Amino acid sequence: MIRLEDVTRRYGDKTAVDSLSLEVAEGEVCVLIGPSGCGKTTTLRMINRLIEPTSGHIFVGDRDILSMPAEELRRGLGYVIQSIGLFPHLDVAANICVVPRLLGWEKQRMAERVDELLALVGLDPAAYRHKYPRQLSGGEAQRVGVARALAADPPVLLMDEPFGAVDPLNRERLQAEFARIQRELKKTVIFVTHDIDEAIRLADKVAIMRDGKLQQFNTPEEVLNHPANKFVHDFVGADRALKRLVRVRVADVMRSPVTVLADADPISLQEAAGRRRFAYVVQPDGRLLGWLDTRSLAEGTRPAAAMTQMDVAEASVRPDDSLRDALSRMLGLGFRSIAVTDKNDVLLGEVTFAAVEDVMTEGDEHVSNQPTEAPE
Amino acid sequence: MKERRSIGVATVVVAALAFSWLVSAQGLWQSFLRALFPAQPVVLMPRDTLAAFVLQHLALVGISSALTIAVGIPLGIFVTRRSGREFRGLVVAATDLGQTFPPVAVLALAMPVLGFGFWPTVMALFIYGMFPVVSGAISGIESVPKAVLEAAEGMGMSPWQVLLRVELPLAARVILSGVRTSVAINIGTATVGAAIGTGGLGVPIIGGLAVQNMAYVLEGAIPAALLAVLADAALAQVEAAVTVQEAAAG
Ligand SMILES: Nc1ncnc2c1ncn2[C@@H]1O[C@H](COP(=O)(O)OP(=O)(O)OP(=O)(O)O)[C@@H](O)[C@H]1O
Ligand SMILES: [Mg+2]
C-alpha cells in the first residue's frame, strides 16, 4: 500500500532521512519510532509531500506520489498531528468536514458523517457537534482530530505523535480506542511515536530509526525477541519480558475456571472442586460473586455462606485486556490468578500467574552486544 | 450576542444621523461659537458651509483610506506568501518610513509630482496610512498558529483555500484593527491637506490659525474629532461582526 524506496532527505550537510526503504501492507499499522531528531516526522511528511525527498521514490497504492497533484494526494491521506491544529474559527462539525467540503459533498451527507464519526471516536454527537475547539479538553480535541482525519474515509492515516500531548491516563484510553477503531476500519496507518510501549501496543510492524537510518523493521514480537543490534536492544529497554505481555490478550491464555453455584449443595461442591483448591462462586446466570477455599469448607455450609465476596470490577480483567493488565492486577491484589469476566460480570475464565510467566520467558534469548546490520 | 451587536449597529447609525444633522445646522454653530467668542465679528468661515467642509473631508479620507486598504492588505498578504517572503523586510521598512515622515513633508514631496489640491493630499494620506494596514495584515496572518496551517495544508487545501478559509478568517480581527488605526490617523492628518488647498475640515483650522480666529479653528476641529470617534465606532462594529464566531467560542 505504501512503499518507500531508498528515500533520502538532506538539509544542507545534515541527512535527516538516510536511504530509507519501507513497505507497509494494506490494513497494517506501521509505527515509526526512535530518539528525537531521528527523522520520523520528516519521513511522515514526505509521504504527504509536505516535504519533498532529496532522492528516492515513494509509492502510495502503486502510484508514485510525485505523479499526482499534492492536494489530491493529501485528500486521500488522513493526517493527525500532535498539536492537532483544529481550526479555532470553526465548530467541531465544520472542522470534521474540511476535507468532505473540499471534495464537494452534500450538506446532508456531511451532517450524517459528522455524527457517525463523533460516535466512532466516543463523543456524543449532540453535545459536541457545535462546540468550538477552545471548549474542548486535550483528549476531546485529539478525538476530533482523529475524526477529522477519517472524515472522507481515506485509505491511509498518517499520525505524528497523535497522543503525545495528552496525560498518561487519557493516552491509554485513546490508544485503546484507536486499537478498537483500527480493528473496525482496517486503515493503512503510519504512526509516529516516542513511546515504545505505545509502539508495541499498537503496531503490526515497528520501524526503529536512528539518525535517519532504519535499524529494524519487523513485528513487535520479533523486535522484542530478536533485537537486530545493540541500539535496538537498548532502545527497547531491559523490561522486554514485561513488554511482551502487552502483545498478548487475556483471551489468548485464559483457561476455564472451577466454578460452583452459589446455592449448590455442599456435597456436590466437593466433587466439583476436584483437585483445585480455589473455586469461583457464580450465580446460575454465570455472574461472578466471589471465591472460596474448598478445603476450609465445613460440611453442610452452602457456597454462598462460605465464600469471600469480590468486588468484581476491581478483581477481574476483560478478555481484550493485555496480559500486562492482568499481571498488574494480580500483583496489586496479591493473587496468583485472576478472573476474566465480560461487561456483565459473567465469569469467562481465569488467567494464572504461571501462564503469564510462560509468555514472559518464551522466546527469550541472549543478544550479542555486537551491532549487526539492519535487515531490509 | 446577536442582539448586542444589532444594538451596537443601531447606535452607530443614530450617531451618524445626529452627526449629519449637527454639521448641517449652520445656525446652531453660529450661536454656539458666538457665545464662546463674543469679540469675533465672524465665527464661521465664509469660504464654504460646514457641511461642505465635512463632505470634502469625507471624500479625502474615504478615497485615501479605500486606496490604502485596497493596496495595503494585499501587500501584507503577499509578503507572507512563500513567493513574497523575501520582500517582507523591505515592505515593512518602507511603510514604516512612510509613517515616520511628517505628513507635511509627504505633501511637499507629492506636490511637484501631483501638483496642488485634492489628489496630492490623497496620495500623501494613502502613503501615510499604509503602515498600520500593512503591519496589521502581516501580524494578523503571522499570528495564525503553525499547527493550524500544517493541518490545513496536510488535509489538501490549495494555497488559495488556506488563505481564504483559514488565514484571513483568523487574521480578520487584527487586520481590521490595523484599518481602524489607519482611518483614525487619516481623519486627523487630512486636516493638513488644507495647507495645499485641498479643502476639508483643515480649511477652517488652518485659516483660523492664520488669522488668529479661534472660532474658525473650533469649527473645523470639533467636527473632525467627532468624525474620528464615529468612524472608529463604525469600524468597531465591523470588527465585532467578523470576530463574532470566535467570541461565541470563548
Ligand atoms: N527544516 C529543517 N531544516 C533543517 N534541519 C531540519 C529541518 N527539519 C528537520 N531537520 C532536522 O532533521 C532531523 C530530523 O527531524 P525530524 O523532525 O524528522 O525528527 P523527529 O524524529 O520527528 O524528531 P522528534 O521526535 O523530536 O519529533 C533533525 O535533526 C532536525 O534537526
Ligand atoms: Mg517529530
Q: Identity (one letter) of the amino acid at A288?
A: L
Rounded to 5 degrees, what are φ and ψ at A269? -60, -50
Q: With an 8 Å Cβ cutoff, is A72 touching chain B? A: yes
Query: B249 pLDDT exceeds 90?
Result: no
Say which CATH number the domain at B26 has.
1.10.3720.10
- Which residues, in sequence order, are CB contacts of A202 under 8 Å at separation 6+? A29, A31, A175, A178, A179, A182, A191
Q: Are B110 and B120 in contact (CB under 8 A)?
A: yes
Rounded to 5 degrees, what are φ and ψ at A159? -130, 120
Ligand nearest to the CA of A195: 1
**Domain with B79 in it:** 2-249
Distance in Å, alpha carbon of A50 to nearest chain B alpha carbon: 7
Question: What pLDDT shows up at residue B1?
Answer: 58
Question: In terms of CATH architecture, what is A251-360?
Answer: Roll (3.10)
- Closest Cβ–Cβ partner in B147, B155, B249 for A83: B147
| Count of domains for chain B | 1
The atom number, within ligand 1, closest to the CA of A9 reads 12
Question: What pLDDT shows up at residue B3?
Answer: 74
Residue in A closest to B247 by C-alpha: A89
Whether residue A102 and residue B161 make contact (CB cut-off 8 A), yes or no, is yes
Query: B104 pLDDT exceeds 50?
Result: yes
Q: How far is the CA of A188 from the centre of ligand 1 (A)?
A: 24
The domains of chain A are located at: 2-246, 251-360
- Which residues, in sequence order, are CB contacts of A37 under 8 Å at separation 6+? none
Q: pLDDT tens digits for chain A (376 residues)?
A: 999 999 999 999 999 999 999 999 999 999 999 999 999 999 999 999 999 999 999 999 989 999 999 999 999 999 999 888 999 999 999 999 999 999 999 999 999 999 999 999 999 999 999 999 999 998 999 999 999 999 999 999 999 999 988 888 888 888 988 998 999 999 999 999 998 989 999 999 999 999 999 999 999 999 998 999 999 999 988 788 888 888 888 988 999 888 888 887 765 666 655 667 788 888 889 899 888 887 777 667 777 788 888 888 888 999 988 898 899 899 988 888 899 999 899 999 999 999 888 888 876 544 434 444 444 4
d(CA B27, CA B216): 15
Say what the ipTM of the complex is.
0.80
Quick one: cell of A311? 468486588
Q: With an 8 Å Cβ cutoff, is A88 touching chain B? A: yes
Domain A2-246 has CATH 3.40.50.300: yes
d(CA A251, CA A320): 6
pLDDT digits (tens, 9 = 90+) for B20-32: 999 898 889 999 9
How many CB atoms lie under 10 A from the CB of residue A230?
15
Instruction: Supply the DSSP symbol for A247.
Output: T
Ligand 2 is an ion; residues with CB less than 5 A from it: A 41
3-state helix vs strand vs coil in chain B, percent to 5: 85, 0, 15
How many CB atoms lie under 10 A from the CB of residue A248?
20
**pTM score:** 0.82
Coil, strand or helix at A35: coil
Topology match between the domains A2-246 and A251-360: no
Candidates A26, A33, A5, A4; CA nearest to A227 is A33
